[in-house]
Amino acid sequence: MYTKRIFPIAGVIKWTRRHIFLFLILATIPVFLFDVVGLKWLHVPWLPLGVLGTAVAFIVSFKNNASYDRLWEARKIWGGIVNASRTWTIMVKDFINNDHSEEEKSKEYLFKIHRELVHRHVAWLTALRYQLRADKPWEMHLKATRSNREFRETQFRVCEEEISIEEAIKPYISNAEYDEIFAKGNKPSQILGVQSRRLKELMQQGLIEDFRHMEMANMLKEFYTLQGKSERIKNFPYPRQFATLNYLFVWIFIILLPFGIMEGFESIGEHIIEDLESHVSHSSTLHRIQEFIAQHFVWFSIPFSTLLAWVFHTMEAIGENTENPFEGGPNDVPITNMSRGIEIDIRQLIDDTDIPKPYVWKNDIIM
């Protein structure tokens, strides 16, 4: 997620520069045919084009709202994971003790159990974020434009692409658990299954009584719920019929836009000529320059057409780049950073050692 309060305009222009050049070309061709070749009939009435532009604006707005809802829901889910992780750690620390144990255990033994359960929870967080970063065919970084690929390769780093999931999880679980988990499919679910089995063993040992075991099992249920909500967003894309038609409608409007603007600028030029004829001496050099500009005033439609096309296309691109909040883009939910923050927080709660430092990010983009 980009952390600067104002996204630099230079970055936006660099991101969209190829489309800006394309919009300039699309705006110049009709003007050339209209003014140089003399095809004065080559224009579109502004009224139907304005209606089309209004419809496209509503469609783009609908998509952006829906994309933002997906992003915000993902952020709320991971906010829930943060809170539930802290609650789980407090339960581990306060519920697992000698209150109901037949044989009193040492503080070192209890700390070892606390550490085991907390580290296994960190393994679940790690497995979940790797699962959410997995490639899906509809995501932007797989169907990325050249601009998106360049931005991804040079402006920020995605840790899940640099470190394998095996290397990331191995320090937090035993070798036996590692072999069991990686022999199956959904690794976060398997880790929660191992966690549940371990709670049952601790209850049988008398380190957790029935009521506390039930409360901790409910927390595992909450983790499953939050995981399922994350998987729902990850595995169900924004409906492609909306995304594809929205993209098509925006481009229809962009292509027709220069044809609708030209006549208006031509009319402005004609009014300028009329005004010059009544106020300025016809023999002056200034008059000839102004008259030349007025006769070719239609060329001023090119920057305006380019600007409008850029605005509509960029708003559509923002929605397209926001609809998958876990894929690892610069404006996605920073689940890697949140996972590290949770790990630091809960390990400090049990007075653990060798706590990792927060990630250092590139160009103010946290992932």
The structural domains of the chain, with segments of one domain joined by +, span 75-238+362-367
pLDDT at 275 over 70: yes
- Band (pLDDT 50/70/90 cuts) for residue 237 is confident
Tally of CB atoms within 10 A around 110: 17
Burial 112-126 (b: 16+ CB within 10 A, else e): ebbbbbbbbbbbbbb
Beta bridge partners of 365: 2, 362
Burial 269-301 (b: 16+ CB within 10 A, else e): beebeeebeeeeeeeeeeeeebbeebeebbbeb
Q: Mean per-residue pLDDT for 47-74?
A: 91
Rounded Cα distance, 175 and 172, in Å: 10
Note the pLDDT of residue 232: 94
> Which element (helix H / strand E) includes 257?
helix 240-279
pLDDT at 101 over 50: yes
Q: Which residues touch 134 (CB under 8 Å, ≥6 apart)? A: 234
Under 8 Å between Cβ of 168 and 126:
yes
Tell me the range of 245-254, 320-329, 351-360 where mean pLDDT is highest: 245-254
Closest CA to 362 of 212, 154, 198, 206: 154
pLDDT at 264 over 90: no
Q: Mean per-residue pLDDT for 116-130?
A: 94
Note the pLDDT of residue 292: 73
pLDDT at 142 over 50: no
Note the pLDDT of residue 320: 84
Tens digits of residue pLDDT in 289-319: 777 777 777 888 899 999 999 999 988 888 8
Q: Where is pLDDT greater, at 93 or 286?
A: 93
Angle of helix 187-204 relative to helix 175-182, nearest 10 degrees, comes to 140
Note the pLDDT of residue 153: 61
Note the pLDDT of residue 312: 92
Tens digits of residue pLDDT in 71-95: 999 999 999 999 999 999 999 999 9
For the chain, what is the mean pLDDT? Answer: 84
Burial of 338 (0-12, 13-18, 19+ CB in 10 A): buried
- Backbone phi, then psi, for 362, in 5-degree steps? -110, 130
Q: Mean per-residue pLDDT for 322-344?
A: 86
Helix (H, G, I), strand (E, B) or coil at 300: helix
Q: In the structure encoding, which two tokens stand for residue 261, read together?
A: 């603007």
Note the pLDDT of residue 219: 95
Rounded Cα distance, 110 and 211, in Å: 19
Note the pLDDT of residue 348: 93
Closest CA to 88 of 341, 349, 340: 349
Note the pLDDT of residue 85: 96
Closest CA to 220 of 75, 81, 76, 326: 81
Tens digits of residue pLDDT in 32-51: 988 888 888 888 888 888 89
Note the pLDDT of residue 181: 92
Helix (H, G, I), strand (E, B) or coil at 215: helix
pLDDT at 146 over 60: no
Q: Please name the residue that has the structure tokens 């966690």.
A: 195
- Band (pLDDT 50/70/90 cuts) for residue 366 is low
Q: Please name the residue that has the structure tokens 């952390």.
A: 3
- Band (pLDDT 50/70/90 cuts) for residue 155 is low
Q: Mean per-residue pLDDT for 318-337?
A: 84
Note the pLDDT of residue 279: 63
Note the pLDDT of residue 7: 54
Q: Where are the beta strands (DSSP E) in 221-278?
A: none
Q: Please name the residue that has the structure tokens 């497995």.
A: 127
Q: Where is pLDDT greater, at 224 or 240?
A: 224
% of the chain with per-residue pLDDT over 90: 41
Q: Mean per-residue pLDDT for 224-239?
A: 91
Note the pLDDT of residue 3: 52
Tally of CB atoms within 10 A around 335: 26
> Which element (helix H / strand E) includes 72?
helix 46-95
Lowest mean pLDDT among 20-24, 108-112, 133-137, 149-153: 149-153
pTM of the prediction?
0.84
Q: Where is pLDDT greater, at 363 or 39?
A: 39
Q: Return contacts of 51-56, CB within 8 angstroms, 24+ apart.
A: 52/252, 52/253, 52/256, 53/253, 53/257, 53/312, 55/249, 56/249, 56/250, 56/253, 56/312
Longest dimension (CA), the chain: 112
- Band (pLDDT 50/70/90 cuts) for residue 243 is confident
